[in-house]
Amino acid sequence: MDNITIDHGERVSLGVHEGLERNVRVVFFHNADKFPSPYPDSGSAHTVGALAAFNKGVLEWCCTRKVIPSVMVTNDWFTGLIAGYVKAGHFGEAFNQTKFLHICHNLQETYEGRIHPHNHEGDLNRIHKLPREWFSDGGNMINPSKCALLQSDHWSTVSKSYKQELLEGSTLRHILHKKPDGFAFPNGIPIKDRIKRMDSVAPDHISAKRKL
């Protein structure tokens, strides 16, 4: 469609590709340097740069297209800076009326998106340009999931049981508890009804799988 330009210590141009899928507008950003592959293992500075480019790109796309949502839903660590950029004033008053909901699809420590810069790299604030305390309780570690939960208006997760698991055992549970009544919904599969229906049409496991 066109290009948008964002600035996070360097000016980055993102190619914008758009399409419709079942009446849902789908948008892709293209930049071979920032996004050479899904989750590239290219070092801390590159990861933070890709994170900043994508998150600012989302907000810049909204401004360019004059699409200012009443609610913006973010999902997992790679969208963890979006609410932060708004709350830090990087986009002026454009999103003052927008509420932010962050989905915790998986909050195990290895899925929080933790980034550990080398000592000589510092905290990489020169790239993401957000307060250090939004990411870490100390040191240079960058946790985008922490930023998302601190700066979003609310949070949600994928099931009621996982919500309880997070509130009891997540390393970020102290933040989750500050925003009570996190949204959770059952996975949507009526187990008992499904088993009853399968028993009525298939006498054993193999034939049930074949029927499905």
Give me the amino acid identity at 149. L
What pLDDT was estimated at residue 70?
Answer: 97
What pLDDT was estimated at residue 39?
Answer: 80
What pLDDT was estimated at residue 150?
Answer: 97
Task: Render each residue's pLDDT in the chain as its tens digit; 212 residues.
Answer: 999 999 877 899 999 999 999 999 999 999 999 999 888 888 999 999 999 999 999 999 999 999 999 999 999 999 999 999 999 999 999 999 999 999 998 999 999 999 999 999 988 999 999 999 999 877 889 999 999 999 999 999 988 889 999 999 999 999 999 988 888 987 677 878 888 888 888 888 888 888 77
End-to-end CA distance of the chain: 42
Give the Cα separation of 52 and 124 in Å (integer). Answer: 11
Give the Cα separation of 142 and 203 in Å (integer). Answer: 53
The model carries a pTM of 0.86
What pLDDT was estimated at residue 53?
Answer: 96
Beta bridge partners of 129: none
Could you tell me the domains of the chain? 2-181 (3.40.50.2000)
What pLDDT was estimated at residue 165?
Answer: 95
Give the Cα separation of 198 and 203 in Å (integer). Answer: 8
Give the Cα separation of 45 and 25 in Å (integer). Answer: 31
What pLDDT was estimated at residue 162?
Answer: 92
What pLDDT was estimated at residue 204?
Answer: 85
Give the Cα separation of 15 and 32 in Å (integer). Answer: 10
Say what the alpha-carbon torsion angle 182, 132, 45, 74 is, to the nearest 10 degrees. Answer: 20
